[in-house]
Chain A
Amino acid sequence: MTQQTPIPAEEFIDAPTGWVRILDREALEIARPLIPVVLNGQRLVLFRDEEGELGLIGRNCPHRGADLCYGRLENNGLRCPFHGWHFDRTGQCVEQPAEPKGSPMYKAIKVPMTPVEERDDGIWAFLKDGDTT
């Protein structure tokens, strides 16, 4: 199995609390705009939604912990392939297609979000201390 992985290698960044430039803008100019990043030890996933905005959210699905790096980039967000839970760029769950119709559970589910911004010189994130999870 020598197939090249189409998921970019994890980017590791350690820095003091505050805004930090984490990536070149070009890094996300790929067919599937999603990159795993580890900021101060926190495993996150950076993606661009269909509105062109960035999301930087926790890497494990808040349901049972599946790896959102392999999520389906669709419907202007990221969908977990395990049970179809769908998250917008803020990490808010917007749909739980296996739960009973009309269930409001999704409203209370949010993946931890790290503030992220695109600036002229690159992609910036607001880092917290490593132990703040």
Chain B
Amino acid sequence: MISQQLNDTITRIGPKTEAGAVLRCYWHPAALVEELESQLPIPVNLLGERLALVLDDAGDLRLVTRISAIGEPAVFYPDSTEIKIEVTGPTYPVMVKKGIAFAYLGNGEAPEFPNFDCFRADDTHVFAFKGLWECNWLQALEIGIDPAHASFLHRFLKDDDQGSNYGKQFRDKVAQTSMPMTQVLREYPRPDINVEETDYGLKITALRHMDNGQTHVRITNQIFPEAICIPMSREMTITQWHVPIDDENCYWFTLFTSFKEPVNKELMRAQRLKEHKLPTYAPLKNRENSYGYNPQEQADETYTGMGMDINVHDQWAVEGMGRIQNRTREHLGRSDKAIIRYRRILRQAIDAMGAGNRNALPMQNGEKIKTIIGPLSNDAVAPTENWSGASHQADLERRAACPWDASV
């Protein structure tokens, strides 16, 4: 449990807030490149600011301030002909990386991009998409750094065959075994969780010690301030930002990165367009239709009764907390180790900004940022007494066989 005051401090990100000042030190996804195919300007609501993406006189993309009506909804997508620019308002630089237009809303010089796999991979090996969640960004991030929830929220009571699972999370077989990932998650629900601070945020190791003397090692990452990098299948990783639209809404932006075959973008896009409505990328399953909840399915097939798409499960979990989770009533356990650690880093960053010490924040140290690689993000199985080298070894093997330069 934390105080209401602290909850406000760590969740609210408008222009004059403390957490907002921290987030404004970083590049944030503002739009998908596929959105730019429509007539510019397009609206972008980001960090509590009403903006629009335009081409400036030099032909570069730029975010400018948009005039919005009082009471305009937070998720609002006016047609380009209806967008009015506030010519004296703040404007911000934009940089396109792998299907996402990133924006920098901070003061001074924008930081370098780290050399993460999702940015290094060939364009053919990265696919970008986004989706709306109607809640505060922090609870959206926190579910992504909670390795235990997958054993419950995403539990499938039956294991699917692995045939039609391209581009889906947790539907692969576990490396070096014939066991479906769904079975490992279901049968070993109490992972030991190790959390280490890194130069980019947190490295989170979830260990599931299995009955056969083997340990399942899942490594995921928190990338400061609002992203995660996690394995999706043996072939792909997910790098996902939880970008605030305002205090009560956020978008997830994901870069799916393949270490093997080029990504089948057409299939990945079609799978996701079936679940979302354009132009807001609002999910078709939502609070209003109870996320498609079916009690019979909950009894027989899935833990939630909300279908096989794990994004819907996550969306339900975080939206059901309320627009901003009331952390004055929470009771964190051992499974929340990484969340506790993350909040500590965020508070340290807030304090550092208050003291005028931006360089103390993760990935704000100039030239060194470009040397940050990875992060290692995978599932591996190893003998329990020797688990620690296993994921490193599996990662090196995957990198060695990767068609783009994934060397570390």
Q: Chain A residue with minimal CB distance to B331?
A: A62
A70-B305 in contact (CB<8A)? yes
Smallest Cβ distance from B321 to chain A, in angstroms?
Answer: 4
B230 CB → nearest A CB, Å: 18
**Nearest 5 CB-CB pairs, A to B?**
A67-B320, A65-B321, A5-B290, A98-B148, A84-B152
Q: Does A11 contact B (CB under 8 A)?
A: no
Q: Do most interface residues of chain B lie in helix, strand or loop, or is the interface mixed?
A: loop
What's the tally of chain A residues with a CB closer than 8 Å to chain B?
31
Would you call A12 an interface residue if the criterion is a C-beta within 8 Å of the partner chain's C-beta atoms?
no
> B17: shortest Cβ distance to chain A, in Å?
22
Are A65 and B334 neighbours in the complex by a CB distance under 8 Å? no
Q: Is the pair B153, A82 in contact by a Cβ cutoff of 8 Å? A: yes
- Is the CB of B178 closer than 8 A to any CB of chain A? no
- Residues of B within 8 Å of A100, CB to CB, are 190, 334
**Interface, chain A (partner B; CB < 8 A):** 1-3, 5-7, 31-32, 60, 62-67, 69-70, 72, 81-84, 96-101, 103, 105, 109
Q: CB within 8 A of B295: which of A1, A6, A109?
A: A6
What total count of A-B pairs have CB within 8 Å?
108
Complex CA–CA separation, A97 to B151 (angstroms): 10
Question: Is A65 a contact of B322 with CB atoms below 8 Å?
Answer: yes
Q: Mark B126-145, 1 if CB is under 8 A from A, else 0.
A: 00000000000001001000
Instruction: Pull 27 A–B residue pairs with CB atoms less than 8 Å apart, ordered by A.
Output: A5-B290, A7-B290, A60-B321, A62-B330, A63-B333, A64-B332, A65-B139, A65-B329, A65-B330, A66-B321, A67-B316, A67-B320, A70-B306, A72-B298, A81-B153, A81-B303, A83-B335, A84-B152, A84-B189, A97-B189, A98-B149, A98-B152, A98-B189, A98-B191, A100-B334, A103-B333, A105-B333
CB–CB A5/B148 < 8 A: no
Find out whether the CB atom of A83 lies under 8 angstroms from the CB atom of B149. Answer: yes
Alpha-carbon separation in the docked complex, A57 to B330 (Å): 16
Q: Which residue of B lies closest to A101 (CB)?
A: B190
B304 within 8 A of A: yes
Q: Counting CB contacts under 8 A, is B285 at the interface?
A: yes
Within residues 178 to 202 of chain B, which ones have a CB less than 8 A from any CB in chain A?
189-191
In the bound complex, do residue B333 and residue A82 qualify as a contact, i.e. CB atoms below 8 Å apart?
no
- Give Cα distance in the complex from A65 to B327, angstroms: 8
User: A83 touching B152 by the CB < 8 A rule?
Assistant: yes
B149 with A82: CB separation less than 8 A: yes
**Among the listed A3, A66, A96, A99, which residue makes an inter-chain contact with B289, where contact means beta carbons less than 8 Å apart?**
A3
Contact B289 A5 (CB under 8 A): yes
- Which residues in B have their C-beta under 8 angstroms from that of A81? 152-153, 298, 303-304, 313, 317
The CB with the most chain B CB atoms within 10 A, among A3, A60, A64, A65, is that of A64
